[in-house]
Amino acid sequence: MDPLRRKTLLAAAAALLLRPFAALAAWNKEAFGAKSAADALKTLGIASPAPSKDIVIEAPQIAENGAVVPIEIQSNIPGTTVLTVVIEKNPFPLNSRFTFREGALPFVKLNVKMGETSAVRVIAQAGARSYTASQEIKVTIGGCGG
Amino acid sequence: MAAGPMKMRATLGSGYTDVRVLMTHPMETGLRKDADGKVVPAHFIQTLTVKVNGKTVVEGEISQAVSRNPVFSFRVKGGAKGDKVEVSWVDTEGETNKTEAAVA
């Protein structure tokens, strides 16, 4: 093998190896596969977040249809860069995780599925600290099975 | 149902730009059974990215427990008419889609 070809191959192999680290928005398989809220948070490196009234959750008290539960979350904690949504009693509790940069406000509105009545917990990360708030949502018809 | 088109609207709010986006996607959980009692395999969007004028502003990781045909609202500080907003997603099958709109 000539040296140039060898170099090119090595560079290609290195690029392939480095790819996972370059993709910042990679899906955290372990955390999303966790069967309990505690395991999911542990995998994400979130340890005992402090309760905070500066996390605002706008969601219905009672959701008739668990397949579409609208939630709106916002953190008024300065420096919030990550918001994580955990639905404690869902089969896979970790629901979603959003990273905000370049002037995006720590706000998101989305529709989630809920299998049964559960606490919906939001964790805000600001620097090395994390904060949490939760709201109980009653579900009349579950939205995870058939 | 297969993954399909996206719709987006970006409008100026008070001090921020409001980005609303709709994605057409089945968001199959892998827990649902079809009429024959067979489990429908999981198929859902895993990551999404919001860019304004080419800069990434929001990165999202989502699970199968986000509702079918996901709708999201995001807010970005400031902004001006004509700013270019782009939203893209990647699902469990490696399928991807994106849409672009100018702030109105």
pLDDT for the residue A10:
62
Torsion angles phi and psi, residue A37, rounded to 5? -60, -40
Q: Say whether pLDDT at A84 is over 70.
A: yes
* Token representation of residue A17: 């190896």
Task: Report pLDDT for A90.
Answer: 96
Q: Does B35 reside within a domain? A: no
Task: Check pLDDT > 60 for residue A120.
Answer: yes
Q: Which residue has the higher pLDDT, A19 or B24?
A: B24
Write down the domain spans for chain A.
3-141
Q: Which of A27, A72, A98 sits opposite B58 (nearest CB)?
A: A98
In this prediction, residue B86 carries a pLDDT of 97
Given the DSSP bridges, would you call strands B45-52 and A69-75 parallel, antiparallel or unpaired? unpaired
- pLDDT at position B4: 79
User: What one-character DSSP code corresponds to residue A136?
Assistant: E
- Tens digits of per-residue pLDDT, A52-63? 999 999 999 999
For residue B99, give how far its alpha carbon lies from the nearest alpha carbon of chain A (Å): 18
Please, which pLDDT band fits residue A101 given cuts at 50, 70 and 90? very high
- State the DSSP string of B62-94: E-TTBPSS-EEEEEEES--TT-EEEEEEEETTS
Residue in A27, A69, A103 nearest the CB of B78:
A103
At A26 the pLDDT is 85
What pLDDT shows up at residue A9?
63
What value does the CA radius of gyration of chain A take, rounded to a whole number of Å? 19
The SS3 assignment for A4 reads helix
Which tens digits make up the pLDDT trace of B53-100?
Answer: 999 999 999 999 999 999 999 999 999 999 999 999 999 999 999 999
Query: Which of B16, B61, B78 lies closest to A28 in CB terms?
Result: B61
Closest CA to B87 of B62, B65, B67: B62
Token code pair at residue B3: 């993954």
| CA quadruple B81, B99, B91, B42: dihedral sign | positive
B-interface mutation test, from A24, A87, A102, most B Cβ less than 10 A away: A102
Q: Report whether pLDDT(A45) > 80.
A: yes
Domain covering A3-141 assigned CATH 1.10.260.40 in the classification: no
pLDDT of residue A7: 64
Residues of A in contact with B72 (CB under 8 A): 108-110
Residue A17 — very low, low, confident or very high, per pLDDT cuts 50/70/90?
A: low
d(CA B65, CA B75): 22
B5-29: pLDDT as tens digits: 899 999 998 899 999 999 999 999 9
**pLDDT tens-digit map of A1-16:** 566 666 666 666 655 5
Whether B90 maps to a domain, the answer reads yes
Looking at residue A22, its pLDDT comes to 40
Task: Tell whether B14 is covered by a domain.
Answer: yes
Q: How many structural domains is chain B composed of?
A: 1
CATH of the domain at B77: 2.60.40.10
With a cut of 70, say whether residue A40 has pLDDT above it.
yes
The per-residue pLDDT for A20 is 44
The mean pLDDT value for A27-55 works out to 96
CB atoms B72 and A109 under 8 Å: yes
Residue B1 falls inside a structural domain: no
Domain that holds residue B24: 6-30+40-102
